[in-house]
Amino acid sequence: RNMEAFISLVSKGLVNLKPLITHIFEIDEAEKAYNIVLGKKKERFIGILIEHYDGKLPLWLSPVQAVILPISQDFNDYAKKVFEQFIKAGINCEVDLKNQKINYKIREHSLSKIPLLLICGKKEVDSNTITIRRLDSNKQENMELKTFLKKFAALNKAPLN
């Protein structure tokens, strides 16, 4: 009796039926199915994020958060020392040790939309500081290395709202 009532509702279009697939996957097949379904959703989500931020992801979300740029090869050792401290602080960064002019390096990494460019030169080595250039800003600020690490390690966390 209940089945007849149910069939009547379906035939009138009052009940929407979704197909139910009953198949037991092996572990490998289940993982593949999971990755196919969720992989596309992840790709869409990342695409939406990139479009929303116009490619300029916030510091906490950016895969490469900072690039350390020595002005010349004389300052490569200091740049490597700074890099090690950043990695210990949990900041994802890279060091650009290419033998190029500093303006070329700044332009290259600005076009890559890296949030922070950290410049090392004689002044920075002597005072144990770093010059910071933020994405979309021509202003540069000089900050002591320990202060910078404390400040930006705190900014490196996702907002909780």
3-class SS at 132?
A: strand
Whole-prediction pTM value? 0.70
As a whole number of angstroms, the distance between CA 124 and CA 106 comes to 17
Q: Which residue has the tokens 């400040």?
A: 151
Count Cβ atoms below 10 Å from residue 32 Cβ, excluding itself. Answer: 13
User: Within 13 Å and on the Cβ side, how many CA atoms surround 28?
Assistant: 0
Tens digits of residue pLDDT in 16-63: 555 444 444 455 555 555 555 555 667 777 777 888 888 888 888 888
The 8 Å CB, 24+ separation contacts for 28-35 are: none
DSSP state, residue 156 = T
pLDDT at 82: 94
